[in-house]
Amino acid sequence: MELVTPGIGLIFWMTLSFGIVLYVLGKFAWKPILSTIKERESYIANSIRHSKKIHRELEELDATKEKMLQQTRNKADEMLKQAKAGGEDIIQKAHQQARKEADQIIESAKNSILAERKAAEREIRQQIVRLSIDVAQKVIREEFKDVEKKNQYINKLLEDIQLN
Amino acid sequence: MIGSQGRTCKLLCTRKPFALLLSVFVFFLMGFTSVHAAESHSEDNVKDFDAGKVIIDHILDSYDWHIADYGDKHLSIPLPVILNYKGEWYFFLSSKFHHGHDAYKDFRIAKEGPKKGKIIKVLDDGVTPDPEAAFLLDLSITKNVFSLIIASILLSVLLISVGRNYSHCGFKRAPRGISAFLEPLILFVRDDIARAAIPENKVDRFLPYLLTLFFFIFFNNLLGLVPFFPGGANVTGNISITLTLAGFTFFMLHFSANKEYWKHIFNTPGVPVWLKLPIPLMPIIEIVGVFIKPIVLTLRLFANISAGHMIILGFVSLIFVMGSSNHIAGFAIAPLSVIFVIFMNFLELLVAFIQAYVFTFFSAIFFGMAVPQEHH
């Protein structure tokens, strides 16, 4: 029976000590501990939220980067294509130009060759004529050294003329 | 500036609160036991070992703290006796009773009768209880009170040092040492007890009480399992202690109860009218329930912890019961007893936690009923 009979003394001391413990712990232990835990929790929650935001931003940034890269690539391709086309054009033009110039050069060369030939032909002809005349002179002079022959020939010539 | 702050923090964080606790233990042990260690004592040498008496003596409170016997010498700490009889105060040490054999100033510890084990007023012969004794107010520092005070100091020192760590080192430092051990328990009480049972916006009001309750019961339960001084007192297995704890819960509950709670008791909603009028059946049941709640809290903790102590002591006593008839039987039973005692101690560690949890959880549930959400 004494086991289940509460004693006044023990209840009194228990009330006193538990009351003091309750007050002291509430003031000096639970308050700092709970507020620190709460602070930490809100800090962690904020950090997670923040990191999520950053992650999202990073993703956006990544997408933008990808887009810009693609654009740049396209642009470069286009420029390359343009450059290629432009180069071909220039080469073609240069070809044409060169051909034209070559043609001109050939033409003028032909012309000058022709002119030279003509000049040379004329020279040769003059030479031939002069030589022929010289030969003729010599031959004539030789022929007519003999007076007889000369007369004979003159006579003949005369005869021919009369006959005419 | 930041550097010096960080150093102070480190200094405080690495400080060991246990060094202080240990010195408190040692102080108590040295201070009290040595003085009265040599107190001789002549008792008729009882050969028979009375297990039931030993167990009940342990379970009950006492006026001195018995530590050990050596031959026929008792090693015990005398504790202060504080009495008020007819408006007059008496202060003296319990050693004046000579372990209950003598009377002092016409007071003695009753050996039998309804007040057995308690201090009673006796007649001049020092034996016969005074038949006309007036009410005797006994506020003695008994074994349980002394253990309670030690536990309260240890618990306060421990938790305040943890609290200081928290407030000095801020929230960016992960808990270390004793804080790392206590924080999961604190979070357990907050998240799984308080927040589970009490509406979200009212939790903060009850949380310090629930935390104190949990750690107080848990700490005293554990201290009760330590077989030697300053543990070993059956504090949480004493009905006065559990009754007081339940009383705290009861008063906190009714001081913070809102209109809904009282309406629920006197005019329970959703119940047919004939249960309330003309015989107020429901109100009677509800009012009985109001008082049954703290009684159940009281009895559950008291019975669980006392039973654990009894079983452990029973197994230990078995050795001596067997040994008193035959030495060989005593030694033969000893290993088995020790194994059972070890097993029971592990079980009691679990019970120490579970009972602290259950008491706190039921308190939280009652608080949750006292402050229901305004809408249903």
Give the model's confidence band at B35: pLDDT under 50 very low, under 70 low, under 90 confident, else very high.
very low
Residues of A in contact with B310 (CB under 8 A): none
Handedness of CA A107, A113, A118, A121 (dihedral sign): negative
* pLDDT value for B244: 95
Give percent of chain B above pLDDT 70: 86
Closest approach of B249 to chain A, Cα-based (Å) = 12
The phi-psi region of residue B226 (left if phi > 0; otherwise alpha if psi is between -120 and 50; otherwise beta) is: beta
* Shortest alpha-carbon distance between residue A48 and chain B (Å): 15
- Determine the Cα–Cα distance for residues B284 and B265; give it in Å rounded to an integer: 9
What confidence score (pLDDT) does residue B16 get? Answer: 54
Residues B141, A36: C-beta atoms closer than 8 Å: no
pLDDT score at A140: 80
- Inter-chain contact A30–B155, Cβ cutoff 8 Å? no
Inspect the interface and report whether the beta carbons of B209 and A22 lie closer than 8 Å.
yes
Interface residue of B94, B137, B142, B156 to substitute, partner A, most A CBs within 10 Å: B156
Where does the pLDDT of residue B277 fall: very low under 50, low under 70, confident under 90, or very high at 90 and above? confident
* Averaged pLDDT for residues B40-61: 68
> Which of A4, A13, A26 lies at the smallest CB-CB distance from B208?
A26
pLDDT in tens, B257-272: 888 888 888 887 888 8
Residues 6+ apart with CB under 8 A from B256: B205, B206, B367, B370, B371
* pLDDT score of A62: 95
Nearest to B172 by CA among B15, B16, B2: B2
Taking CB atoms within 8 Å and a gap of at least 24, the contacts of B5-10 are B8/B168, B9/B168, B9/B169, B9/B170, B9/B173
Contact B152 A17 (CB under 8 A): yes
Chain A interface residues facing chain B, Cβ-Cβ under 8 Å? 1-15, 17-18, 20-22, 24-26, 28-34, 36-37, 39-40, 43
CA distance B270 to chain A (A): 38
B241: helix, strand or coil: helix
**Is the confidence at residue B18, as pLDDT, over 80?**
no
> Would you state the structure tokens that stand for residue B302, as one six-digit string?
């008291």
pLDDT score for A57: 95
The alpha carbon of residue A50 is apart from the nearest alpha carbon of chain B, in Å, by 17
Question: Bigger pLDDT: B93 or B9?
Answer: B93
Q: What is the pLDDT of residues A48-89, one digit of tens each?
A: 999 999 999 999 999 999 999 999 999 999 999 999 999 999
B75 - beta bridge partners? B68
* Sign of the alpha-carbon dihedral angle for A18, A23, A29, A31: positive
Distance to chain A for B180, nearest Cα, Å: 12
Which residues does chain A have within 8 Å of residue B140's beta carbon, measured at their own beta carbons?
A: 9
Compute the C-alpha angle B249/B251/B255, nearest 5°.
120
Chain A residues in contact with B145 (beta carbon < 8 A): 9-10, 13-14
List phi, psi (to 5°) of A12.
Answer: -60, -50
Residue B45 pLDDT > 80, yes or no?
no
Lowest mean pLDDT among A74-83, B57-66, B360-369: B57-66
Residue of A nearest to B152 (CA): A21
pLDDT (average), residues B288-293: 93
Q: Do B140 and A21 touch (CB under 8 A)?
A: no
Kindly list the domain boundaries of chain B, sorted by start residue. Answer: 70-140, 145-370
In contact, B99 and B76? CB cutoff 8 Å: yes
Res B245: pLDDT: 95
Looking at per-residue pLDDT, the higher value among B56 and B124 belongs to: B56
List the single best residue of A4, A5, A13 to mutate versus B (max B Cβ within 10 A).
Answer: A13
Residue B354: per-residue pLDDT: 96
Ranges B21-25, B69-73, B207-211: which has the least confidence: B21-25
**Contacting residues of A for B159, CB less than 8 Å apart:** 25, 28-30, 33
Q: Across residues B302-321, what is the average pLDDT?
A: 91
Chain B residues with CB-CB distance to A2 below 8 A: 60, 116-118
Residue of B nearest to A41 (CA): B171
| CB atoms A6 and B162 under 8 Å | no
* Rounded Cα distance, B278 and B266, in Å: 13
Q: Looking at per-residue confidence, does A124 or B1 come out higher?
A: A124
Distance CA B207, CA B214 (A): 10
Question: Chain B residue closest to A6 (CA)?
Answer: B240
**pLDDT value at residue B166:** 87
- Taking residue B13's Cβ as centre, other Cβ atoms within 10 Å add up to 17
Is B166 in Cβ contact with A10 (below 8 Å)? no
pLDDT digits (tens, 9 = 90+) for B137-172: 888 898 899 999 999 999 999 999 999 888 888 777
* DSSP state at residue B122: B
Q: Which residues of A touch B152 (CB under 8 A)?
A: 17-18, 20-21
Q: What is the mean pLDDT of residues B17-26?
A: 54
Peptide bond into B278 cis (omega under 30): yes
Least confident of A131-140, B26-35, B89-98: B26-35
Per-residue pLDDT, B26: 52
pLDDT in tens, A11-51: 999 999 999 999 999 999 999 999 999 989 999 999 999 99
User: Of B241, B237, B218, B221, nearest to B307 (Cα)?
Assistant: B237
Q: What is the pLDDT of residues B119-137, one digit of tens each?
A: 888 887 777 787 777 788 8
- Contact yes or no for A13 and B148 at CB 8 A: yes
B155: which chain A residues are within 8 Å (Cβ-Cβ)?
21, 25
Average pLDDT of chain B?
82
